[in-house]
Amino acid sequence: MRYFLIIFTLLFLFVFPDSTKAEDMVTVKLVNYIGESSHVYFQLKGDYFALDPTLSLKEGVNYKLTIDGDESLVLQGAGKKQEINVPFILIPQSYKDEHRIYVNNRPYLGAMEFGIENKEFIRPVNQLPLEDYLKGVVPFEVFPNWGLETLKAQALAARTYAVSRIAEIIDDTIRFQVYGGYTWYENTTKAVEETQGEVITYQDQLINAFYSASNGGITENNANVWDGKPMPYFPIKKDPYDPIHPWEFVLHQTQVLLEDMDWYNSNWWNKIEEKDQAITTSMKQWLKRNGYPGDIKIVSIPRFEISNQKLDSNRSVKGSITVEFLHRLMEGTVLFEQLALEDAALDHIRPLIGGTTFKSYLIDNLEENEEMYTLKGKGFGHGVGMSQWGSHIMGQQGKTYEEIIQFYFPKTSITNWVTE
């Protein structure tokens, strides 16, 4: 990765010296649309060259890359098959939108590195100028048909976030910012261009320009979510613009009736179907990440409670959950196991159920009967900083992007980011 950053940046500046600086380059791992795969496909539009002088790639050919050992790939295409060492780097002859690389049919500008991750997955890494990166971020973080002032506010938040991590290798998922490559829209591109270089600062320092989909009608302070020092530009206050976004989900206490299982059927494991498969899929993924390898079937959730403890923002803090499950080990042994989180922080329980189901900690009530739990709440996300839906409503009411930024990040300034 160090080789890629130094060599490509120098080449990029040589090819396109007037429009960018080394400090303006963003490096982003492609994860969201690639997943974990031992092969990827790519096509080139325009002229690209590889650092390997033995390679000659043609425009429009559908190439396939597969893993061949720990440090090499196999490139197939145009009737040829060739082993190449990693990192495999492709660089456009000149930087412009006529030069694109399509990875699994999704277009990207700039350079692309293909490396091997964890000895089993191909991981593409895209490097391109900051402003063009943002044109591929804003339409994937908000709806591109929203008003221009809202899109400008999102562009500032996204740029501030990206600049604060300009020296890092980020990825294209919600862990950082969702990035869709060269899938641009007219209005979001205009929003980025009309705010070029503008970032949000507090006392001449970049802020962490956090945002979430909806704060449920009240903002949250950063210290309540991530600990650390509470920042004055993240106050807890009512948000009259956020449309609240009430949500609820149902979780059945019993997912599988073991007494109904035909244990003598050789295919009994595959016949097990949990009642709430979206939630149980999330539970199984959480369990595998936390020390339970092999296959899992969720049997029951005999306990699910939310503590009465609340923050000043009325968000819940703790809860308890018990999950009973069958755990099939690699050699075929099946164990009955139990996970119990007692009086645990809700940020441990929410990932177990899934953030798109358990949408926030602004909880109205939890109802329980003999068969199921029903949890109701408001908002979507952590609630710190800008509400994207709230900014949309502000834009509809005629507020400027400067007013949107000042409402959600009070006491901050909009300044131009200038690299030395």
pTM for the model: 0.86
What pLDDT shows up at residue 262? 78
163 contacts: CB under 8 Å, gap ≥ 6: 130, 199, 206, 417
pLDDT at 372 over 90: yes
Q: Starting at the earlier edge strand, list the strands of the sheet with 295-306.
A: 295-306, 318-328, 334-345
User: In this structure, what token pair is assigned to residue 276?
Assistant: 């709430």
Identify the band that residue 3 occupies on the pLDDT scale cut at 50, 70 and 90: very low
Of 61-75, 202-216, 367-381, 387-401, where does mean pLDDT reach its minimum?
61-75
pLDDT at 420 over 70: no
pLDDT at 331 over 90: no
What pLDDT shows up at residue 21? 58
Identify the band that residue 78 occupies on the pLDDT scale cut at 50, 70 and 90: confident
Of 115-124, 303-312, 388-397, where does mean pLDDT reach its minimum?
115-124
DSSP states along 142-157:
S-TTS-HHHHHHHHHH
* pLDDT (average), residues 90-103: 91
What pLDDT shows up at residue 24? 87
What pLDDT shows up at residue 41? 96
Q: What percentage of residues in the chain have a pLDDT greater than 90?
A: 76
Contact 378, 316 (CB under 8 A): no
pLDDT at 7 over 50: no
What pLDDT shows up at residue 20? 52
pLDDT at 43 over 80: yes
**Residue 177 CA from chain centroid, whole number:** 6
What pLDDT shows up at residue 260? 77
**Residue ranges of the domains in the chain?**
2-133, 138-243+383-416, 246-378
* pLDDT (average), residues 219-240: 95
pLDDT at 9 over 80: no
